[in-house]
């Protein structure tokens, strides 16, 4: 239990942090889609991780793993992005419909050079998201596709009239149209999606977007392929040149050791330098989002005639840690273990995303199963939940909650030449009326005494959960799947309207106040 866990940290004295939650200044809603997932045809992310086929001895529903479905339903996954990623811009949707024995086999040239038999296609994807209770984000092929191909896929998925494409969908087993929440036009067009100049892609986006049409009420949000890391050139070019509908622009950022892309840590067995460098680099996304937000706000100020432009979303639809592949694995499969460090990365990012709730209305961590910062790892019939899964689970009350401003005064955790804020935090009023507070202690050595003031609300009870461990690289394995999981948090007490919290070192804590 927690008392025993706290006993592992006697060497360093607690440090003082003050957090003020402004319940009297409610902000925008934290869209549930901030907690979305990304599932690409990459390694065993789909095959073996999500889809095993109806004839598999692994318990399944129409080929989809029952254990993975149950775990993702419990996580309340709001949305899944598919089929990529880099894979999307070589994916032709007709390869993945109709009888499986007639579907063509292609080479997955982006990820491992392995055969792709297209057994998991459009129908299987929508079956998957419906089984886990999620919405669908579909990425159209702009790199090797055509506007006609993208437009026809949209009609195939959403059309309800007696057209050839709607008849074909019905003949393939789906009578009613599906709901597509987001339709992305291309992916990483600056790189694997075509190595395009931003001006060229802006013209291409205009062309594609012109022909994306469907029945009234069924039109998805249209998402443009944007920048990565600290760049802003795609956002600026798109905002200035797109003439039609563009509901949001994407931003991609992966957490590595840096500064070069080749500088990646091991997923386990790292030292304190690997700990702090990873956390310092993940916090950089705050500045990247702030820069994008400021630029977008400036460009939205006025249109011809003085009419304000509607706020365009900034969707961080690829984020998470990227380490060296696990020894002995196919390097193109991006297999990595998942530790307590990853859980803190996830929670620290949540606290940042909540700050920008009016702009960042969707994010998708990479990826759901068996790839990069996964929620779930599978090995044949075995399944294990990762520390990142548990961080997502702890933060479920923030989905569709009203964000509340927080003011944090905290010390600095430093090691060698790296420094980060000791504590990060966010707060919201959940849909059930309770206040929720997320706290992350980034210091692996020292606990933290946190004084939380609540302005504009009276609270009388507090409960919570904590995720922590003795080792920085604590993780769950198939042999010991419950090594790391949340436990009830009892180190929080209300006194005269103030909340006193004692955070253990290297921990994630989510509190609910009533």
Length of the chain: 514
In Å, what is the CA distance from 469 to each residue of 480, 483, 505? 14, 9, 9
Active-site choice (90, 155, 318, 491):
318
- Respond yes or no: is residue 262 known to be catalytic: no
In Å, what is the CA distance from 215 to each residue of 58, 79, 219? 39, 22, 7
- Respond yes or no: is residue 236 known to be catalytic: no
d(CA 487, CA 493): 17
For 152, what's the count of Cα atoms within 13 Å in the CB-facing half-sphere?
13
Three-state SS string over 97-133 comes to CCCHHHCCCEEECCCCCEEECCCCCHHHHHHHHHHHC
**Burial zone of 261 (CB within 10 Å; 0-12 exposed, 13-18 middle, 19+ buried):** exposed
Bridge partner residues of 255 (DSSP): 321
In Å, what is the CA distance from 190 to each residue of 170, 241, 242, 261, 301? 37, 17, 17, 16, 27
Active-site choice (188, 221, 465, 491):
188
Specify whether the CB–CB gap between 347 and 279 falls below 8 A.
no
Bridge partner residues of 86 (DSSP): none
What CA dihedral angle connects 280, 285, 288 and 289, to 10 degrees?
Answer: -150
Nearest-5° angle of CA 141, CA 144, CA 150?
A: 35
Bridge partner residues of 61 (DSSP): 64
d(CA 338, CA 421): 23
Burial 117-128 (b: 16+ CB within 10 A, else e): ebbbbbbbbbbb
Nearest to 296 by CA among 238, 357, 220, 362: 238
Residue 484 tokens read as 């790391």
Rg (alpha carbons) of the chain, rounded to whole number = 23
CB contact set of 216 (below 8 Å; sequence gap of 6+): none
d(CA 396, CA 35): 8
Beta strands in 335-471 (DSSP E): 363-366, 376-379, 382-385, 402-404, 406-409, 412-415, 418-421, 423-429, 435-441, 446-455, 462-467
Place of tokens 């599906």: 178
Return the active site residues. 188, 318
């Amino acid at each position: 239990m927690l008392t025993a866990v706290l006993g592992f940290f006697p060497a360093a004295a607690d440090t003082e942090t003050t957090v003020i939650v402004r319940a009297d200044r409610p902000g925008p809603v934290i869209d549930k889609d901030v907690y979305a997932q990304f599932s690409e045809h990459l390694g065993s992310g789909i095959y073996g991780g999500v889809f095993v086929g109806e004839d598999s001895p692994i318990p399944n529903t129409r080929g989809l793993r029952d254990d993975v479905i149950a775990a993702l339903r419990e996580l309340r996954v709001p949305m899944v992005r598919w089929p990529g990623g880099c894979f999307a811009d070589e994916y032709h949707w007709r390869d993945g419909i109709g009888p499986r024995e007639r579907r063509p086999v292609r080479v997955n040239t982006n990820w491992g050079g392995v055969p792709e038999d297209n057994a998991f296609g459009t129908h299987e994807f929508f079956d998957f998201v419906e089984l886990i209770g999620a919405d669908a984000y579909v990425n159209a092929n702009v790199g090797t596709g055509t506007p006609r191909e993208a437009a026809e896929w949209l009609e195939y998925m959403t059309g309800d009239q007696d057209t050839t494409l709607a008849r074909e969908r019905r003949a393939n087993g789906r009578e009613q149209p599906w709901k597509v929440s987001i339709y992305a036009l291309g992916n990483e067009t600056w790189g694997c999606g075509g190595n395009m100049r931003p001006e060229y892609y802006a013209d291409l986006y205009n062309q594609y977007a012109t022909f994306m049409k469907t029945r009234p009420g069924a039109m998805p949000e249209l998402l443009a392929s944007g920048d990565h890391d600290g760049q802003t050139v795609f956002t600026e070019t798109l905002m200035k040149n797109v003439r039609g509908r563009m509901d949001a622009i994407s931003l991609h950022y992966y957490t590595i050791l840096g500064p070069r892309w080749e500088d990646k840590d091991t997923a386990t067995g790292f030292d304190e330098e690997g700990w702090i460098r990873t956390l310092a680099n993940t916090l950089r996304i705050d500045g990247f989002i702030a820069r994008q937000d400021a630029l977008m706000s400036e460009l939205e100020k006025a249109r011809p005639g003085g009419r304000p432009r509607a706020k365009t979303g900034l969707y961080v639809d690829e984020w998470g840690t990227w380490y060296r592949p696990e020894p002995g694995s196919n390097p193109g499969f991006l297999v990595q273990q998942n530790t307590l460090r990853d859980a803190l990365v996830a929670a620290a990012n949540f606290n940042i995303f909540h700050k920008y709730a009016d702009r960042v209305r969707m994010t998708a961590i990479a990826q759901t199963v068996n790839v990069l910062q996964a929620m779930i790892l599978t090995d044949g019939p075995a399944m294990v939940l990762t520390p990142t899964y548990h961080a997502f689970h702890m933060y479920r009350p923030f989905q569709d909650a009203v964000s509340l401003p927080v003011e944090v005064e905290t010390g600095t955790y430093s090691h060698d030449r790296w420094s980060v804020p000791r504590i990060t935090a966010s707060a919201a009023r959940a849909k059930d009326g309770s206040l929720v507070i997320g706290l992350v202690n980034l210091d692996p050595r020292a606990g933290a005494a946190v004084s939380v003031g609540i302005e504009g609300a009276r609270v009388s009870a507090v409960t919570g959960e904590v995720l922590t461990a003795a080792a920085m690289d604590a993780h769950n394995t198939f042999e010991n799947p419950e090594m790391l999981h949340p436990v009830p948090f009892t180190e929080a007490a209300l006194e005269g309207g103030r909340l006193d919290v004692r955070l253990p070192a290297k921990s994630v804590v989510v509190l609910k106040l009533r």
